[in-house]
Amino acid sequence: MTFRYPGGKKYVYPSVSSYNKNLKSVNKKFGNRGMSLEEDLNETNKYYQSTGRCIIHKKPTPIQIVNVDYPKRSAAKITEAYFMQPSTTDYNGVYRGRYIDFEAKETRNKTSFPFSNIHVHQAEHMKSIIKHDGITFVIIRFSLLNETYFYDASYFIWWYFEQKKRKSIPKSDIEKNGHFISEGYAPRLDYLTVIDEIYF
């Protein structure tokens, strides 16, 4: 299936072979761990919603279907589609009367979080959320280290837009100004506890 950006440029799927290899090594090192960050967050949000703590969902990516093949009468296969507009961030919702909006990213880098993981329009979107008094942040997982951090968008935006020397955020700053999120059973990643600590 072919996806295209609004300008017509073809979307190139990232290679998953190296990611799958990384997951296998993480699984060996950490027993039954190894779920992707997105899977962990989706399970966490299901738990939050089922217990009535908040309503937070993964945003769907709007696409326009162009071509569909019908190999059988009972089956349809999308062969070409376009992204209708640039995506913003991954998740949004409401918690304790405040709008929540955040991005979730994994990196194999052990010492920093590269800016290439987040597009300019996503960073601009987070700036707008702050302007309107919403709560916005990035959840960053260093996958080779199996460490996950809550990193407030105000720190991220400073590194992304204000400083001009680096193309990444040092892990040391994420450790200093972010909040480590330990893995649990229910919820998997209790980021609401961090939000309570920072904002409430």
Per-residue model confidence as pLDDT tens digits over 21-80: 544 444 433 333 446 999 999 999 999 999 999 999 997 665 666 677 877 767 777 777
Query: At 122, which CATH number?
Result: 3.40.1350.10
Single pTM value for the model: 0.73
Q: Is the pLDDT of residue 134 over 90?
A: yes
CA–CA distance, 174 with 159 (Å, rounded to integer)? 11
Q: How many domains, in total, are found in the chain?
A: 1
Structural domain span for residue 52 = 2-199
